[in-house]
Structure 1
């Protein structure tokens, strides 16, 4: 078996920008219900963080005429790694531009990826320093647990739609160093409709799924934050119920990634996930798992059927 030297120049999903046509309602959802903290406001945007995020901010929420993804930010391992990945992008034919930075991070290389999504690469990132009253008892935590709303812990992964899954995952692997962990080819042959990729040892930082709408590009399937236990996901379901938040799917367990999940729509229309668990990969020669169908015909690991909206709804709405 041939072995390709892995690339470890990109460390993690750093942040995402979500657009919303209902800014005030979305901001209330993310702060009071989902449990993020506002760390800054600038223009039409608010910058938020989860209590376990070590960086200053992981979510930029921006008022817009429609919902969707503004951009997604990937943090490089070092200044040198950033330069190497920019060179790889340009060698691939991607022509981006340098920007001065934004709240929470320094200069970044902004580009449009395969699939039409705005992305940026950066290294310089401002660490969160908890003020008096928010300091954690344990010094290896960025701040104390506040328990407000769902109180998600940290940003975890993002799912993007594309018309050609193989093309997009090949691009992600060759330019940014994503490793293919699992992929879905219905029936075991034909078109690939899903791929789950990670930068380090998680089951996934990036999911890529088939765009269901002809001619659409650059759409978001969902953004996910991590909760430490399944019980926290169950608690989230109760909180969403009490706050009249539409629960689309879950709580249940995914077959792929083995994550325990719950999907809702925030008021602007973007799908948001609470995610716990998921397997980790420690083998350097991991062989990607090919799925041809669900195990024993189950839609999910325990048999909960997937609602049609999960394959049809994405933002921006068409």
Structure 2
């Protein structure tokens, strides 16, 4: 019997990143990425890019070690929220309901197959543009933030996983994500899965953690308007002494231009531009073989070895 695809998740709403260096990390996101603070509460600060449609896309929380606090996704309706919560609970991944957090209503919390903390919610406070940030065009959330890399919005996240196949199936079966691309081993196991719920080529990537860790965080990607802005971001990082793990280049999967750095707390951050959109409802998953992956990035150079082993929390510093 064929079942109608799950269409309950609207988009990736925000992420919570943990940092042992809250002041330095906040300065990175504010001054170097150009994000704005919308709220502070307890040990957390809530930030947004100038083009983010949600109230915020990043919750930055002080903690003993870097890593992922949680990933939040918004559903299409209150009914969709209840449906997903019931299904997730039934399949044994549920943690339970909360009264919500800053800017959004009650949420259902759960984990994926590898133990990453996730939540879904529907009720959300809308962003009200303050007078000094009102744009010339009323269909923009806010005026252009001419600061640092000037990131527009949260684009995607990448989770490290001990079992990419299991995590990939979780997001597809429990949340309705679709597999746009995958990299596999010679025996067919996924080493990376790229998944989407919007028409972007991917909203979420899941990568095999070669360190042997479980439930770790790989990176968060923030979008800029053009490939030239990726180059500008690299210069911003250079000028401010931020370690550049992978200098500007082009990915094969997704086709985005990128630069990868570690923010002061230790979390890997990507600034990206470009990529392609998927409109076909019957898109066929693109599969990359080990031989094809050996060619490296789109222009031939490889990513550094740390890209496949370093994540947060950093196992080496535990």
Distance in 2 between the 1:307 and 1:126 partners?
A: 41
Please, which moves more after superposition, 265-274 or 203-212? Answer: 203-212
Quote the residue 1:60 is aligned against. 59
TM-score normalised by length of structure 2: 0.96
- Output the CA distance in 2 between the equivalents of 1:68 and 1:134: 31
Which of 198, 201, 209 is matched with 2:199 structurally? 201
Q: Does residue 10 of structure 1 match 2:9?
A: yes
Change (3 A) 1:297 1:111: closer
Cα deviations across residues 53-82 of structure 1 (Å, max 9, x unaligned)?
A: 111111000000000000000110111111
Cα distance in 1 between the residues matched to 2:80 and 2:153: 24
Q: Which residue of 1 aligns with 2:264?
A: 267
Distance, in Å, in 2 between the alignment partners of 1:157 and 1:292 is 23
**Residue of structure 2 in register with 1:77 after alignment:** 76
Task: Assess if the C-alpha contact under 8 Å between 1:294 and 1:300 holds in 2.
Answer: no
Listed as ranges, the matches of 1:10-159 within 5 Å are 10-159=9-158
Aligned to 1:272, the other structure's residue is in SS state strand
CA RMSD of aligned residues (A): 1.4
Deviation at 1:263, TM superposition (A): 0.5
Q: Which is further off, 158-167 or 291-300?
A: 291-300
- TM-score, normalisation: structure 1: 0.96
Residue 228 (structure 1) aligned with residue 243 (structure 2): no
Q: How does 1:146-185 map to 2 (within 5 A)?
A: 146-185=145-184
Residue in 2 that maps onto 1:291: 288
Pairwise CA distance, 1:92 = 1.6
- Structure 2, unaligned runs of 5 or more: none
Q: CA, structure 1 residues 296+75, in 2 after alignment: closer, same or farther (shift >3 Å)?
A: closer
Q: How many residues align?
A: 315
Instruction: Report if aligned partners of 2:94, 2:109 keep a CA contact under 8 Å in 1.
Output: no
Paired residues of 1:178 and 1:199 also in contact (CA < 8 A): yes
Give the drift of 1:101: 0.9
How far apart, in 1, do the equivalents of 2:60 and 2:158 lie? Answer: 17
Q: Deviations over 1:222-273 (max 9, x none)?
A: 0011112101111111111111111111311100111111100000000000
